[in-house]
Structure 1
Amino acid sequence: MSPELPVWRSLLYVPAHVERFVARAHERGADCIQIDLEDSVPPSEKELARRCVAAAAERVRAGGADVLVRINRPLGLAVRDIEAAVGPHVDGFTLTKVASADHVRLLDELIGEVEQQRGMTVGHSRLIVLIESADAWLHAAAIARASPRIVALNLASEDFALDCGIEPSFETLLMPKQQLVYAARAAGVLPLGLVDSMTNFADEAKFADIVRRSRRFGFVGASCIHPAQVPILNALFAPSSEEVERARRVIDALEAATREGRGAAALDGRMIDAPIAENARRLIARHTAIAARAARA
């Protein structure tokens, strides 16, 4: 994983125009707060929500979270959202209903123009790209490489299922979700998401099981719609102390074997070779990055 990529285990949606949610967002412990201008904001409240974005961004990052703004589509709404939101307290944008690589590049250009107008470093704003249609999914690899601003790729389960005419479930979403992991990794960006629907926040045990499975399939974090989901995502998308301890033993075992002129070692009845040791190093690097993030909060 590139050191430039953020640590985003939990990305909590907060509607920009609802004061009681904004006021407490910084207390929730999320790695990232996504100030929402899209689905949680009715059309009649869009303009109010835009006026709230700058102040909301400054407030919700008080707990150390990164801040993204989820914008609308069609393009006319997206333009107004971006013009309202680009600023020093907004780390980037979640792009919804992305249609193609050209769509991403168009929004990238607009964001850069606004950054320049406001005296900001061009490139400050990072991007999560949401795949929400069958057509976009077929072009996910190109979309993931469309802009150097992109740091993460996600597949919106409910919207994608609606477009495909399928029920959003583990069985129906597994293949497209797994392919999304491959597209993200090939592009060097974060694969975000869950291998099931995230709408049932009341059953915490079931949600935790979904998160565990999602991590095994390669996801490193996910968006969430309820604060109760944040600690579950933070805990289960992080290496456990047992995993970290074993990773260190794996590395030590292979290094000892290497000193003796061997390319493999045995540990607890299992063979250890270069790919397994590299995976252990990545796990420890992930653990270190999460600890560094916690220290900044």
Structure 2
Amino acid sequence: MAARNTLRRSMLYVPGSSQRFLDKSRALTADCVAYDLEDSVTPHMKAEARSLVRRAIDQPSPLGIRERAVRINSVDSGLALGDLTEVLQSPNLSTILIPKVNSASDLTFVTDVVNHVLSQQSATSAAPRPPISLLALIESAKSITNLSEICAATPLLQGLGFAAEDFALDLSITRTPSLTEFLFARSAIATAARAANLPSTIDLVCTAYKSDKSDGSPPAALEEECRNGRRLGFNGKQCIHPSQVSTVNEIFGPEAEETVWAMRIVIADEKAARSGRGAWTLDGKMIDVPVAHKARAIVTKAEACGVDISALREEWMHQEPE
């Protein structure tokens, strides 16, 4: 079973065929950097990109990056086996992003290759390596209709992502700023992932990255897309430029006020439990088991995002259930 890395607020794509971009990526800060062997790589550069990405992953992980993934080519392309055979040789690879997942068989193929390669490695080397996590990109009408089977295809699967441009192409629709044309697909993806207990739901790429404001702050479209995605149940977003990452991380991370609220509930709920109270109130609102569970999840995520939870607990240590 793959290790659960639930903090994927930002997934930043880096073209795998550019040594310059691969080198620059080591100075970036993001929850996940995805070295791309698919859309950003021209056909005649595919083989070279595999080697460049393999060498990039072989290097020690940079401090600012929590996770390094590789987006391979789709199973239908005929290039996936070559991609997997190359990048799985790196002992540092932990995550594989699979595009154009139309059915469970796509994930079964990748899982079989991963298990075969890793079993060969374990037979010849005693050195431990990180478990492999799979992330599936949903990009077509067929994949939407097969979501339940896709989510149950392999225990290695850790999340779903939505690829809007390919989905729009498949349905012959046009992307608009409101994103209403994607509402059904995005809701289906977030719901299916939650039902399958997958930790990551990664929303579509925002094509706006240059500031449209005089003060150089992030474009309004990026902020609105992030908030819209979070409201739908996504807990992360794909990024195409480093300038998008800080905004994405901020919006998909717990807000300061939300974290304080959650910590107050956690502390008061612990005291209520010790006194045998199953439901109580805080600030005039009823707090029961589902709300307490949500609060604990917020505190856990805030800690993963770097919030000093110990200091916050000490500050609110006298909170009582009302």
Q: Does 1:89 align with 2:89?
A: no
Q: State the distance in 1 between where 2:98 and 2:13 align.
A: 14
Amino acid at match of 2:196: A
Q: Aligned residue pairs: how many?
A: 290
Query: 1:216: how far off?
Result: 2.4
Residue equivalent to 2:46: 46
Q: State the distance in 2 between where 1:65 and 1:5 align.
A: 9
Greater CA deviation, 53-62 or 157-166? 53-62
Amino acid at match of 2:149: A
Q: State the distance in 2 between where 1:254 and 1:92 align.
A: 37
2:305 counterpart SS class: helix
Q: Is the 8 A contact 1:33 1:60 kept in 2?
A: no
Runs (4+) of structure 1 moved beyond 6 Å? 120-123
Q: Does 1:184 align with 2:193?
A: yes
Query: 1:109: how far off?
Result: 0.3
Residue 142 and residue 122 in structure 1: after superposition, are their counterparts in 2 closer, same or farther (change >3 A)?
farther
Q: Is the 8 A contact 1:25 1:60 kept in 2?
A: no
Residue equivalent to 2:24: 24
Unaligned runs of 5+ in 2: 212-217, 308-322
Q: State the distance in 1 between where 2:93 and 2:274 align.
A: 49
1:291 counterpart SS class: coil
Residue equivalent to 1:125: 132
Residue equivalent to 2:312: none
Q: Does 1:269 align with 2:284?
A: yes
Q: Deviations over 1:44-99 (max 9, x none)?
A: 11111012121112348323431111011235211111111102121121111112
Of 186, 192, 200 in structure 1, the residue corresponding to residue 208 of structure 2 is 200
Amino acid at match of 1:53: V
Query: 1:4: how far off?
Result: 2.4
Residues 57-68 of structure 1: pairs in structure 2 closer than 5 A = 57-59=57-59, 61-63=61-63, 64-68=65-69
Q: Does 1:150 align with 2:157?
A: yes
Q: State the distance in 2 between where 1:80 and 1:28 align.
A: 28
Q: Deviations over 1:164-213 (max 9, x none)?
A: 1222342111221111111101111134233x651122242320221122
Amino acid at match of 2:142: D
Residue equivalent to 1:78: 80
Q: Is the 8 A contact 1:108 1:147 kept in 2?
A: yes
Q: State the distance in 2 between where 1:39 and 1:115 align.
A: 27
Of 95, 104, 125 in structure 1, the residue corresponding to residue 107 of structure 2 is 104
Q: Does 1:213 align with 2:206?
A: no
Q: Is the 8 A contact 2:91 2:130 kept in 1?
A: no
Residue equivalent to 2:70: 69
Q: Deviations over 1:107-163 (max 9, x none)?
A: 210121122223376982210001111011111121011111111111211111111
Q: Is the 8 A contact 2:159 2:202 kept in 1?
A: no
Query: 1:34: how far off?
Result: 0.5
Amino acid at match of 1:95: I
Q: Does 1:247 align with 2:273?
A: no
Task: State the identity %.
Answer: 35
2:153 counterpart SS class: coil
Q: Is the 8 A contact 2:135 2:160 kept in 1?
A: yes
2:61 counterpart SS class: helix
TM-score between both structures, scaled by the size of structure 1: 0.89
Amino acid at match of 2:98: L
Q: Deviations over 1:237-276 (max 9, x none)?
A: 1112221111122233444555565433232232222211
1:198 counterpart SS class: coil
More helix by share: 1
Q: State the distance in 2 between where 1:13 and 1:3 align.
A: 22
TM-score between both structures, scaled by the size of structure 2: 0.83
Of 113, 116, 133 in structure 2, the residue corresponding to residue 113 of structure 1 is 116
